[in-house]
Structure 1
Amino acid sequence: MSESEQHSEFPEILPNDRHVLVVGGGEVAASRIYHLLNANAKITVISPTMNPEIEYRESKGLLYSVQRRQFVDSDLSLYEKPTPKLEKFDEEEYKNIDQYLKDSRFELVLVAIDDPIESKKIYYKCKLKGLNVNIADVPPLCDFYFGAIFRKGDLQVMVSTNGRGPRMARLIKDKIGNLFSDYEIDKTIGNIGELRKLLRIKNSGTDNQSIQDRMEWMTKTTDLYTFKQWSDVDIHKVIEYYPNLPPKYEDLK
């Protein structure tokens, strides 16, 4: 298995409203926390000392918990609660399990300390508990990597070199950003999202044929116009043509 198959990029939506543990309080930890906050994670930081940036985020109430002490093994189970039962297999039980996973487990563990021996110990302790872990600057001890992320509105594009060249990832990310410099890509994404909502109103069927019809029409319609055209197209005019395809951009205007 190749390295690219063994590891995944940092999944930006994965930590959303989930507990994440950061072991370490230096500059690297502060950088990790910045990315995690953008992913809406509930962050617990454990370290005897804290970088000023971490202290600032703590003062603003952005961190779930900050504990100024050494890491101990029991920290991996810091929020653990009794596992809920799954007997009826109904929506209520599924909801309870979802809440349990949000409240009781660390979705990710990030270690950023200047102690390779202790870092490796923490890594294997995490693996025994089935936790995804990233040891800073040690690619073989990472289940995921942090990529360079281009964000504009709802658009998020991550570039990862699987830990081989973080600087190159940032340069490529900047190149991607330049592709959208002459128009508002966030409006493009917004218009596509609104069009999908209108389409579900036009065709609200839940049967397989209705779903297939919506998917095919949306795919073909999305391909009709350029990114720039989608940024200022009148989606209310577009949806009027359903189930037929709308005309060319020039005719629609």
Structure 2
Amino acid sequence: MNNNTRVVLSLPVATRLCGKKVLLVGSGEVAISRLEKLIPTGCQIYLVTGDIEDDLDDITCTSSGNKRFETILKKWFVPPSKLGNAKITATGTSNDDIYTYPNWHTNCGKIYQIIKRNFKFQDLTMFMNSTSNKNTSSINKSEFSALVERTNDINLLKSYLGDNWQVILVCIDDIKLSELIYYKAKLLLGPQIMINVADVPPLCDFYFGSNFTLGEVPTVDTDAIRISDIDINSNNSSDDITLDNISCVPCIQILISSNGLSPRFTSLLKNDIISKYGSSSNIHIQESCVKLGELRRRIRDINNTNSDNSNGGKELISYRMQWIKYVTDQFGVKYCHLMDVDNLVKLYKKMLIDDSMSLEFPANMVQAFGNLSP
């Protein structure tokens, strides 16, 4: 490679989708692979499943009852045989079969809504006239901009936030229709809307790469959910979702990317990492994450109760970060799961308050503050 060649890299980021609306168009193998990645995030998935007609002027049709769709129903919704019994088609029209999962919540491990028909362009704007967006409907753009600029009232600003798609995923074979969905979504919803059109790199604002988790990820026991237990008439809504309801999963998520150069090599590298650090190894990822998360939370609470310290808040934060870095490094990847959190919290409090923010640590940290077997 020429030494003067500058490689443009992508930015690997972790996106929080919990409770956010995601539009997924398609029901093939690629769409199923997207569902496998989306379900654990707790996002509110609207799945448009129908096969796409060749005629773009008439893309409204009834759905096809293929086996892939039945697989989706059984794994991430309800068994196909229970659809009628559950009576969850009340929102459907004569042309649409729309199924909404009763009492959906971010931890249920289910698709929120299945729209069993072909994609319609009005799907892009289905929330533009929703109740939560009507606060701004009577204000012109310049007036609204002025309102936003002059107010510092967080609650007022939050009241103007409306529903809309956070992410749009297109997984269909029709390239022309995929392009139309991409550009119409950008024009209608704004250029900031994140869209991924499968197998068309120029129409991907992001891509999934080779991503995987180390450590156990809690799953919902879907077999224990009986259709007869579902309250069809419940008024429960996902509108009650708040950031306070979002919890972290005790695992490590890893994304590997070759920036499109060799997906196969990234897959081999992923498998190599899993073999060294996965469940078959002696590295206790989940327990380590739980211990470290608890330790960080508790020493942060100690900082908060001492925020009027004469050294100032910035120094407290800096001290806490240096302290936790040293402790984590001392235990290392292999022994973090053995941390005695209670005693480490006592040590932090002593070093912070009694020893005036000392960074003189005891010797043999793992032996002194680890739950080692005799």
TM-score norm. by structure 1 comes to 0.86
Q: 1:16 and 1:214 mapped to 2: Cα distance?
A: 29
Deviation at 1:117, TM superposition (A): 1.2
Match runs of 1:96-107 below 5 Å: 96-97=159-160, 100=162, 104-107=163-166
Secondary structure of the residue aligned to 1:217 is helix
Q: Does 1:211 align with 2:317?
A: yes
Secondary structure of the residue aligned to 1:25 is coil
CA contact (8 A) 2:23 2:47 kept: yes
Q: Does 1:119 align with 2:146?
A: no
Q: 2:157 and 2:121 mapped to 1: Cα distance?
A: 30
Match runs of 1:187-198 below 5 Å: 187-198=287-298
CA contact (8 A) 1:24 1:45 kept: yes
Aligned to 1:26: 28
CA contact (8 A) 1:139 1:163 kept: no
Deviation at 1:67, TM superposition (A): 1.1
Q: 1:168 and 1:93 mapped to 2: Cα distance?
A: 50
Q: Does 1:221 align with 2:327?
A: yes
CA shift in 2, pair 1:161/1:53, >3 Å: farther
Aligned to 1:75: 123
CA RMSD of aligned residues (A): 2.5
Q: 2:268 and 2:283 mapped to 1: Cα distance?
A: 21
Q: Does 1:110 align with 2:169?
A: yes
Aligned to 1:173: 270
Q: 2:363 and 2:347 mapped to 1: Cα distance?
A: 9
Aligned to 2:233: none
Q: 1:77 and 1:115 mapped to 2: Cα distance?
A: 21
Q: Does 1:95 align with 2:147?
A: no
Secondary structure of the residue aligned to 2:363 is coil
Deviation at 1:63, TM superposition (A): 1.3
Deviation at 1:173, TM superposition (A): 2.1
Aligned to 2:212: 150
Which runs of no fewer than 5 residues in structure 2 stay unpaired?
Answer: 51-63, 80-100, 102-109, 137-143, 216-249, 308-312, 352-358
Q: 2:34 and 2:199 mapped to 1: Cα distance?
A: 12
Alpha-carbon deviations, 1:147-206, whole Å to 9, x = none? 233222332112233344444333322222223221211111111111112212333234
Q: 1:201 and 1:247 mapped to 2: Cα distance?
A: 26
Alpha-carbon deviations, 1:86-113, whole Å to 9, x = none? 4633131243355x2xxx1111111111
Q: 2:154 and 2:299 mapped to 1: Cα distance?
A: 28
Deviation at 1:250, TM superposition (A): 2.8
Aligned to 1:202: 302
Match runs of 1:10-21 below 5 Å: 11-21=13-23
Deviation at 1:247, TM superposition (A): 3.0
Aligned to 2:43: 41
CA shift in 2, pair 1:24/1:141, >3 Å: same
Aligned residues: 247
Q: 1:96 and 1:211 mapped to 2: Cα distance?
A: 32
CA shift in 2, pair 1:163/1:109, >3 Å: farther
CA contact (8 A) 2:24 2:48 kept: yes
Q: 2:77 and 2:116 mapped to 1: Cα distance?
A: 12
CA contact (8 A) 1:47 1:68 kept: yes
Which runs of no fewer than 5 residues in structure 1 stay unpaired?
Answer: none
Deviation at 1:8, TM superposition (A): 4.5
CA contact (8 A) 1:8 1:144 kept: no
Which deviates further from its counterpart, 232-241 or 106-115?
Answer: 232-241
Higher strand share: 1
Equivalent of residue 162 in structure 1, options 259, 264, 278:
259
CA shift in 2, pair 1:158/1:91, >3 Å: same
CA shift in 2, pair 1:77/1:8, >3 Å: farther
